[in-house]
Amino acid sequence: MSAVSREQIRTMMAEVLSAQGKEMPTDDSTELEGIGFRSLDFSELALRVEDETGEELNFDAPGLRQIRTVTDVLDFLEQLQGA
């Protein structure tokens, strides 16, 4: 299966937030702490990406860095596919 686009990841992230009764910010520089996007939510988002691609994400890949903003999440999951 092909990789999930940045826009698709964004939509999935909005779905994860929505299921928690939270809103996806329009500004990607928004800090995750401010919108209540926690590690459980990040894990769920990763599972959604895995379900879409049919492949397990390799979180042991080099380059794991601090994830602070919406942009960081989108960058990270985009880069992780195929890592």
Partner 1 sequence: MAPAGADNRIITRGFTGTWAELGRQFEDTLPPAAAIAVRDNLEAARAVWAAASGEHELLVASGTRLTPELSEDLRGAGLAIVRQGEVEPPLTERAADPGRVWLLTSGSTGRPKRVAHTLESLTTVGQGQPPRVWLCPYAHGAYAWWQVVTLGISLPGQDILFVEPDELDTWPAAALEAGVSAASGTPTFWRQALYRDPESVAALPLEQVTLGGEPVDQAILTRLTEMFPDARVSWIYASSEAGATIAVHDGLAGFPEEWLGVEKPGRATLFVEDGELLIASPKRGEGIPEVLRTGDRAEVVDGRVLITGRMASDEINVGGAKASASAVRDVLQSHPAVAWASVKGRKAPIVGSMVTAEVVLDGEATEAELVAWCAERLPDYSVPRRLRFLDQIPIKETLKSDV
- Residues in contact with partner 1 by CB under 8 A are 18-19, 39-40, 42-44, 46-48, 51, 56-57, 59
Q: What's the min distance (Å) between Cβ of 37 and partner 1? A: 12
Instruction: State which residue, 18 or 29, has the beta carbon closest to partner 1.
Output: 18
Of 34, 32, 12, residue with least CA distance to 72? 32
Who's near 42: CB < 8 A, 6+ residues apart?
67, 73
Among all chains, which residue has been given the structure tokens 């800090």? 31
Instruction: State which residue, 27 or 60, has the beta carbon closest to partner 1.
Output: 60
